[in-house]
Structure 1
Amino acid sequence: MNYEEKIIEYPPVHPGTDRTFIRFYEGEPNPKAMLLGGCDEMPQRVFVTDTTVSSLPCMDEFTAEFGTGKGAAANSVHKRRSGKDILVILGAGEPFKTIESVLSIVAAALDANGQRSTVFVGIGGGVITDMTAFAASIFKRGARCELVPTTLLSMVDAAVGGKTGCDFGSYKNMIGSFFPAQKIHICPEFIKTLPQSEYRSGLAEVVKTALLFSAPLFDKLESNPGILDGRGKSEFAPLISEMIRTCVSEKASVVEQDLTEKGMRMLLNLGHTFGHALETCAGLGKVAHGDGVAWGMARAADLSERLGLCTKEYAERVKRMLRSYTWETSEIHPAMEGKGSAGDIARTIFGAMKKDKKNSSSKVRFVLQRGVCDTVITEADEGDVLAVLGAER
């Protein structure tokens, strides 16, 4: 069949902003002072948080501006006592990371007569920051966005770099966009408000970043497992500050060079191919993201050894360090026990990997290592993957 072709040339779609300002705060968190100051000419803000964060004592003055406080209902919208701002409160946790939640943010903004100049401000962990930024990216084809990460995981990873989105069905982050925030407000003292499980989950992303980019930080973490239970101790305060700033700096450097994950940004997925598949197969929300990533790093270490990329000594060093932080490193994660034979479980997880959005063919791509700060991206055969998942038991 014959055809004629016309070409339309245009620049790439703008991702919302051409730069991000990251502010590091000292002292106790004060969201009211951080976010509600300024002149009357400030643009309208759509603040988004969840029931857990809205109940924190440090949020009392902020939520009082919207006539709400502790015990605010999920999926509720509150108008500020003065001005055009609104506050959207969603349910907390991975089960609420859905397209319905994203659309509820959009609906609230529309009901409040939001414009493209409206700023969407997410205050919370990775679930809230991901969904708020996604809502901003699709609202009237792109509004503006600021983020206030309140968990360690969101400070060192989720809020930085412009990945937005939500889960779809049983698969993590299958819907989304690249849409960096204009401002990120980081207050490390927020981590003192976290349940131990959330803090531990964030530490996994810190270890990942250290393995990828900072041998000195990895050495310090390896030598100081007491930081797991010592976030409130003054002796660990310098290390906590260092690890947050190092992770932000290293991720920012990667994102500046590869925003849309066409090259080196793929390195940041160390442990994630295994980890996301585990989260999917166990049931979203059953395994914390950081716990999944830590287990995934152990599996990646074993796969690296099996493929001859690293020595047995290096793989054992990584797993020993992970175990010292109480993360699971066995071939079959306890969350999958009772879901079939070892072979069945391995094949189930491998099947989930093949649906991962990062894979470009029928093969599965992995981020593997020869050593600390010596990382490669490669594909592995099904048999090798199944073996490190315990199929040969």
Structure 2
Amino acid sequence: MTFEEKDIIYPPLHPGTDRTFIRFYDGELDLNSIFYAGEKDSLPQRIFVTDTSVAALPVMHSFIDFFRGEDFSHPKIEAGFTGKRGKDVLLILGAGETFKTIESVLAIVKAALDNNGQRSAVFVGIGGGVITDMTAFAASIFKRGAHCELVPTTLLSMVDAAVGGKTGCDFDSYKNMIGSFFPAQKIHICPSFIESLSEREYRSGMAELVKTALLYEPEFFERIEKNPEALNDRKGALIKEGIRICVNAKAKVVEQDLTEKNIRMQLNLGHTFGHALESMSGLGVVAHGDGVAWGMARAADLSQRLGLCTKEYAKRVKNFLASFGWETEPVHPAMKEKYASDEEIAKVLVNAMKKDKKNSSDRIRFILQENIGETVITEVPEEDILAVLK
């Protein structure tokens, strides 16, 4: 058999925008002043997306009221609400990881289509990582690419999820299996939102902040290690500084490696273990940050087992994580409630890790550390992984 070959050379795929403008706000965020100050007819249509938890916040009321229409007889807004403000649209989805589905993404697309959305439309996600991920994903697939802006409302989405262009949703109980790289044109960060977070949500974001400190900011890690209680002051200068440090660190990485071919993989410290835990305990049972914190403890033990770090360093990391109340033992309590033995739990988690989209071979790729700021990307045999899970 013979054949002739013809190649087609393409330019790099455009990811929606060639730059992201990140704005840090002081004081309470006023969405009307951001999106409707000096409103002009020439502005593109906006498809605003949020969830029931964010919509219930007092700071959101004045913004949402303009989308209610003239009938104010039902002040409570449920999931599925769609309102209009001129040509703009507001869609409210259910809150939480269980709603991070392809059906929710398609609901965003449908809201845009039902309201004559064009490729010039701007999809604006107002919420935590679930909302920002799905809204940006919907923008990336709507008519092969619209535009996107994000307003992160949780600590997790401010320091990580909204920055860097990763979009997507869960599928078939696995985390973020469907998605795209599609950076937002603008990200509006207002730290005052974190004052309204539950303790669970706040701790979840704190884990990503700690992760960034371990990866890139030894001096900042040492400061919070000496005084971890300071991070509990949600109005304090330290948490605001931490948000900026995380955004700047991630921005620097993403500028060099948007599509995670090399150094961006470092940002997955704790995530291979953590995502497996989230998936196999049941999505939403373990908060993302709690999973990542547990994953960082497992990564520390794995680093020690492979001779990459000292026993003292692994202990230092685990002691710090434990000081915030995160689980650091090999077997997470959420898994004990579902499986019969530690051996079964370990095997279930490893099988979930094999499905991780970051792997490229039969071995499982991990982000491990030799010390603070000294990070290694390596593939690890299954027997070593099992050893730190039981």
- Normalised by the size of structure 2, how large is the TM-score? 0.97
Matched, 1:16 2:21: no
Q: Hey, what does 1:57 align to over in structure 2?
A: 58
1:32-51 residue CA offsets vs partner (Å, 9 max, x unmatched) = 21222232321000000000
Matched, 1:88 2:98: no
Listed as ranges, the matches of 1:240-319 within 5 Å are: 240-319=239-318
Q: Hey, what does 1:370 align to over in structure 2?
A: 370
Matched, 1:27 2:57: no
Contact 1:32 1:59 in 2 (8 A): no
Instruction: Report the Cα distance in structure 2 between the residues aligned to 1:70 and 1:52, rounded to whole angstroms.
Output: 15
Contact 2:278 2:291 in 1 (8 A): yes
Q: Hey, what does 2:336 align to over in structure 1?
A: 337
Instruction: Report the Cα distance in structure 2 between the residues aligned to 1:56 and 1:72, rounded to whole angstroms.
Output: 12
Unaligned segments of structure 2, at least 5 residues: none
Instruction: Report the Cα distance in structure 2 between the residues aligned to 1:86 and 1:110, rounded to whole angstroms.
Output: 11
Q: Hey, what does 1:325 align to over in structure 2?
A: 324
For residue 287 of structure 1, give the secondary structure of its aligned residue in structure 2: coil
1:55-101 residue CA offsets vs partner (Å, 9 max, x unmatched) = 10000110011017852110221111xx2000000000000000000
Listed as ranges, the matches of 1:143-154 within 5 Å are: 143-154=146-157
For residue 252 of structure 1, give the secondary structure of its aligned residue in structure 2: helix
Q: Hey, what does 1:76 align to over in structure 2?
A: 81
User: 1:115 is aligned with what amino acid?
Assistant: Q
1:136-191 residue CA offsets vs partner (Å, 9 max, x unmatched) = 00000000000000000000000000000000011000000000000000001110
1:93-114 residue CA offsets vs partner (Å, 9 max, x unmatched) = 0000000000000001001000
Contact 2:125 2:149 in 1 (8 A): yes
Instruction: Report the Cα distance in structure 1 between the residues aligned to 2:83 and 2:77, rounded to whole angstroms.
Output: 10
The number of equivalent residue pairs is: 384
Offset of residue 226 of structure 1? 1.2
For residue 378 of structure 1, give the secondary structure of its aligned residue in structure 2: strand
Matched, 1:211 2:210: no
- Normalised by the size of structure 1, how large is the TM-score? 0.96
Which runs of at least 4 in structure 1 moved beyond 3 Å after TM superposition? none
Matched, 1:117 2:117: no
Contact 1:200 1:228 in 2 (8 A): no
User: 1:359 is aligned with what amino acid?
Assistant: N
Contact 2:231 2:238 in 1 (8 A): no
Contact 1:295 1:327 in 2 (8 A): yes
Instruction: Report the Cα distance in structure 2 between the residues aligned to 1:35 and 1:268, rounded to whole angstroms.
Output: 32
Listed as ranges, the matches of 1:164-243 within 5 Å are: 164-232=167-235, 237-243=236-242
Unaligned segments of structure 1, at least 5 residues: none
Offset of residue 323 of structure 1? 0.5
For residue 5 of structure 2, give the secondary structure of its aligned residue in structure 1: coil
User: 1:98 is aligned with what amino acid?
Assistant: T
Instruction: Report the Cα distance in structure 1 between the residues aligned to 2:344 and 2:230, rounded to whole angstroms.
Output: 37
1:205-240 residue CA offsets vs partner (Å, 9 max, x unmatched) = 0000000000011112212221354324xxxx1111
For residue 317 of structure 2, give the secondary structure of its aligned residue in structure 1: helix
**Structure 1's 261 and 70: CA in aligned 2 closer, same or farther, altered over 3 A?**
farther
Contact 1:271 1:296 in 2 (8 A): yes
User: What is the alpha-carbon root mean square deviation over aligned residues?
Assistant: 1.0
Instruction: Report the Cα distance in structure 1 between the residues aligned to 2:272 and 2:230, rounded to whole angstroms.
Output: 27
